[in-house]
Structures are given as C-alpha cells and as structure tokens.
Structure 1
Amino acid sequence: MDPRGKVTISRTLDVDDSSVFMASLVAIRLQRNDGTVLWENDRPSSTFYLRSIMFKFTKETQTTVAALKAGISREIETLQPTTLKKVKIVHELMMTMIDGKITSYLSETSTVVCDICKAKPTQMNNLESHNLRDNDEEMYQYGLSSLHAWIKCMECLLHIAYRLEVKKWSCRGDDKDKIKIRKSAIQRAFKEECGLLIDVVKQGAGSTNDGNTARRFLKNKATTARITGINEQLIENFYVILQAIASGERVDHTKFSIFCNETAELYVKLYPWYYMPSSVHKLLMHGADIIKHFGAIPIGKLSEEAAEARNKDFRHYRENHSRKINRIATNEDIFHNLLLSSDPKITSLRPRMTKQNVLLLSPKAKELLHLSTEPEELEFINIESNLENLQNSSDSE
C-alpha cells in the first residue's frame, strides 16, 4: 500500500485461489522509555485491532514461508520511527502470530521434532535428558501459539484415550481396529453427553477440533476423565497451564516452570508408552523460558487467535462484499474491508468490553500469575491525550 492509502495489487498469471497466505500485525502497547504505559490493547486477540499487511494466493510451503519471512524481516529492519511533533515513537515488532507448522518451517525441522531442543519423538518422555540438550534460544521469539496449544493438548489426551486398550504409540494390524472402535465410542459419548463433535473431519476445512471445543473438553474434567479414561489430575493440570498462558496476565515463570515440570512427570508416570507430542513438549519443557524471554509482555497478548479468526472474515468479505468484475477489483475490496474493520479510530468508538478473564480463572491458574490489584483504566480513546501530555512534558523540559 502506497503512502496515499491506495492499495497496490500485483498482476500475476495462473493464480490458484484454493490457498491464501496472510500476514497481519496487532498493536500491543504504547509506552515511554521509562516503562510507563500510555496505552495498552485490551483486546489483542480480537480482529478489531488486527491490521492486515498482505495476502497472497499461494500454498503454505517451507519455501514460501521462508521467502515471506525474509521479506518482512527486511521491512522491519528498515522501519523508521514515527514522529508526532517532538515525540518520537520507535516500533518493536514480534513475530508470534504463527502456529507450530510455520515454526517448524522457520527452524527447518519436522513438525514431530522440538524446534527448540531438537528432541525426537522417542526422546520426548526422557525428562532426565532434557537438560543435557542445547536449546536454540532464537526460537523463543516465535512465542507459544497459545490457541493451538489448547487444541494440541486436547488431541494428545484423545490419542492416549484411543490407545488405552493397546498401550502403544505406534499401532498396526488388529490394534488399529481396536483403536477405531474405542475412538467411535468416545466420539459418540461426547456427542450425546456434551454436544461436542470430537475429531470429526470437515470437508475441505480440517476437523471439528477448534479452540472452543478444546476449552470445553478440558474444563469439564470429571466428564472428560470418565468418558476417555484419562487421569483427571492430568486433565486439570493441562487446563490450568493453558488458562495461565491465555489469560493476558503476566505469568510467574518460576511457578509456571515448577508446575509444568510436575505435569510432565505425571504424564510420563501415567503414560510412558505414548511419546509426548512436540507441541506439548514445547509447552511443558520450554514454556517458562519462552515466557521469560518476553519479559513484561504477557504471553497471552501474543496469541495467534486474531489471525486465525481473520480467515473467516477473509472468506466472508470475498464472497459477500467484493466486486466480481475482475480479480484486481475483488482483491482491492477485500483489502479495504480488512482495513476498515480493524481501523483503530473506529474500534475506539465501539462499546468497551468488561474484562472478566481473571474472574473466570481457576484458583490454581491464578497462583501462576502476577495479578494486578489496580483497576483497568487505559483505553484507546486516551491515547491522544496521553501523547499530548507527553508532548507538554517534553516542552517543559
């Protein structure tokens, strides 16, 4: 997009519209050099603040991801400060709105291998060897992918439940039939008792395993434990950990590390035959280090949830709110709608939402957080007055 606000669309031939790759950014906070916060985003996981940078009709391959990441990194390096009168605003960008698949592309590892310590599936349950491996601390910058963490933890417990009769990580022959029968029984029980569609493939759109399903699955620990046969304490521990990282509050990385280690030990003690998935391993064994890496920025504010929700908006705008006269006009209308729906000024006029995340947290999750006793008083509408006060203080000095 050029400085006048006109969208620039590149002309390409033989474009396949079946896949689209999007890049976006979300403003997290505005603060002074001394750390004083002038404004903070109270809805970082909402599309209302998700500013689209680009979209491209291409498949999500390692080559594509590497090329786009390199291009965005070059733009970040050449990004100039924004000056308002005498106030200079320096931008610091973090690339955390990605999932495990993108992270594996960036680390050039398989999705079943830990991108931080490079542990293979057969090494995941060997907790004693964890401290002996070197960690690639550069990978901390990509965050924890807190939305996908819910889904991956649920799927991990489900796959254990399917295999409880055979107690094997890799199954063949008759074992596959036993797993299939048990899986059907578990799916039927969740549908009848909870109204949840578990692990059901949707035509052309993945499966029914989404964030909301995972939250209900883990929250109703007693029902889930009874249906699946999974240890109830392990289900609760996963729920506490995921609540903490998704809360948007600062996590005490020391307490979090201890709790995650206890959960990992419980997992290995109960189900040593099922290798911990790389996503669960990353959460339990490296989660505290990643949280510590981001310092004062709560890990929950760096979620990829807004970017995932934007995919539905993209389809809606393309189908219902774009001109179909040619490809250029269609893409222009899509991009304009993406920008309008996330305009900060328009968002500031929307009714403010009461923050209830902390009230809904379990007591154990609250113990892992640095909870502030001060009321929320930072709103987007105050950003102009805060900058004006900053300008006045600068003039007086």
Structure 2
Amino acid sequence: MGEALAGRRRWIWAAAAVVVLALIVFGVVRAMGADAKEEPEAATTVAVDRGAVTAEVATTGTVQPAQTRSLSFAVEGTVESVSVRAGTTVTAGQVLAKVDDTDAAEAVDDAQDSLDDAEDALEEAQDNAGKASTTTTTCAANVPAAYTPPSSTPTPTPSPTGTTSPTTTRPTTAAPTTSPTRSAPASTPPKTTAPTRGGTPTGGAPAGGGSGTCSGNNSGGSNNSGGGMQQGGGGDAVLSAEQRVIQARTTLENAEDALAGTTIKAPIAGKILTVSGKVGSQVSAGNAFITLADIYDMQISAAFPEADSDRLALAQKAVVTLADRAGDEFKATVVQVDPVGTSDGTMVRYGVLLAFDTAPEGLLVGQSASVRVTTGAKEEVLRVPSTAVHDVSGDQGTVLKNGSRTKVVVGLRGDQYTEITSGLADGDEIVRSW
C-alpha cells in the first residue's frame, strides 16, 4: 500500500511539471512575438465621382383618418333607436340613431301657430295703415291747390309821381271777396292795401286752410292734423307687427332645428369608431354619442426628433411602408409640420402629418407605419462617400487624400454621399473611411 501511495505522488508531481513547462514555453513565444511588427492593412480608397446626393430623415408613425366627427343629439331625451355599432361602414346621410321626438314636434306645431297669428296681425295693421293714408289724402284735397300765402312785407307808400307799389297776387280760383281799398284823390291812382305784419291777408283763402271739414276723417279731429296723427300710429302698429313676425319665424326655425336634431345622420361616408349609448339610455344635448372617421382619406401621423425637425418642410416627398404589407412602398407628401414640439421627458419631438399620394385600400385606423422623408436631393453633383468626410463644421470638412488631410467645402450631406463644392476634382482618390 505504501508503494501505491508513493506512485500516485510521482504522477502528481509529473503532471505539475508538465503544466509549468507549458507555461514557460507560452511566455517565451509571446515575448518573442512582441518585438515583431504587424503589417498595417492597406487603406481602402475611392475615386471622387458625379451622381445623385439624397438626404433623408426617418421615423415611425401611425395611420389616422384625415377627419373625425363627433356626432351628438341637439336635444336631450331617451334613445329610441341605434342603427350602427363600432366598425360599421356608413354612407353620407345614413340615419345612425334617434331619440324620442314627441316634445320637439309639439314645439314646432306651437311655433307655427304663433307665426300664423303674427302674420294675421301684420296684415290687419297694414290694412289699417292703408285706410289712414287714404283719409289723409282726402283732407289734403280740400286745400285749394292754387292758393299761395301772401307776402307779409308791407306795401310801400305811393311816390309823389303817382306810381303805385306792386299789389299782392291773389289766387285765381279762391278768395271770393277782397279787402276794400281806400279811395285816393282824383289825381292819384288807387292803391292796394298791403297785408298786415302778422301774416293774415286782407283777402284770399280763409285762415282755416280749407273749405269746410275733412270728409271721412275718423280720427276725431276737424282739421288735417288729425289725419297725420292717425298715419303715425298706423306706422308704429305695422312696425310692431313686423317685429312679432320676425320673432315668430326665428322661434319656428329653432324648433325645426331641434326636431331635426333628434336624429343623428352621417355627415360623411366613413367608419363608426365608437357608440357611447344604447336604446333606452338618457342623453344630453351636445354630448358626443357617435364618433365617425373618414377612412377614405387616411393620413400618417409621425413625430421626428428635434435634430431632424429643422430640415422638414411642407410638400417634401416621403416613402411609407406598412407592417402588414412587407415589401410595398407607398408615396406620400408632407402636409403639416407642427411649429411647437412636445417632450416626453427625455426628448423633444415635432409632429408631422403626411398624406398618401394614392392611398391603398383596406387601411386600418391606428396601424403602424415607417416613414422616410426626403429633405434634400441633387442630381449630377461632385460627391464622395459620407464616411470619407470628417471634422465637418458648417460647410467645411476634411478628407484624406494621398496620405494627407485636405480641406474641402461640402454642400448637401446625405446618408450615403456628401456633395463636394470645392477642394476636390472628379477622379481624385481619397480614403473611404479613416
């Protein structure tokens, strides 16, 4: 047994010696290789050429309807019928839901009766005003048409030469009597007495302004002023009646609108997104009951990081891919860029809306989409791979040409190529990446 134990120990020591020897050999080999120099890889070069340079920004978004309508009843009441549910496709003008319209119909009938009464009152007021106008015309006809009030200026005293002052012209159809004239000496022609300064003529039409009373005057007066007062009162009555008719018509229109508002109809063709009630439920006026989306005019809603937002603009072209249509690309156009960004606590993003140039059929509201917007593009310009340009500041950059750094002026920077406007020539060899 002692010999077996001694043999086992010899094997252990032999194994340990082998391990130590292997470590020594590995150290020697590594030390010898440390002094050897590795051959450097040859740098990959590329020739400067001409071609297209395109700049794009990319993000993800969702497909949304271009417009969504929240539909409600115009009156409160009990839901009488609901003809649709979420997901139903409807046409414009289709009836979607109704509430009990008994009270609204009665209100329309009452408003129509009030309008009829107001129109009858207006017609009566206009008839009375017409009669008053006829009475006034009759009174005016009693005044002599050719009567002209005499001048109140006194007639001057005749001159010694015998010339008389002009006499007042009297009407030819009125004034049956004249004021007596004073006789003058035989050598002096007779003169006509002038009217007094108070304006009452010594001859002519009577001071009453007419011959007798107004025929047919029902105003209670005995002169023309009575007819004028009746005409003014008639005008006020017509105006009040007209205002009553206008108010009654407005009430009727409001009642008819309320009756129409007991039924919800689809204003556009689309798909029902939500229905917030059922038959028998109570609804309030103005509260959204049905949400309708226009699925025939879909858009993509996306949000871009702040670093890309300054390159976005209206009418830029984009390419959209959908998760359920792998391999298909759809063209779109930027139609809106939000001027104010929103922050999620870590990054500020700016919302963008894109419209399909030709929308595919069967789009789903809310489905995901990948978006690439072309923010710049140039054709047949001097270009180099974007990985070859370093130390870019403004429009200045650096490339590695013939083993040395060369300054260049850059133009449009794309994902694959960068435009070079100065510093290189077509065919120059530069390092692709360094």
**What interval of TM-score do these two structures reach, taking the shorter chain for normalisation?**
under 0.3
Higher helix share: 1
Q: Which has the higher contact order (CA 8 A, sep 6+)?
A: 2
Of structures 1 and 2, the larger Rg is shown by 2
Higher strand share: 2
So what's the TM-score if we normalise by structure 2? 0.17
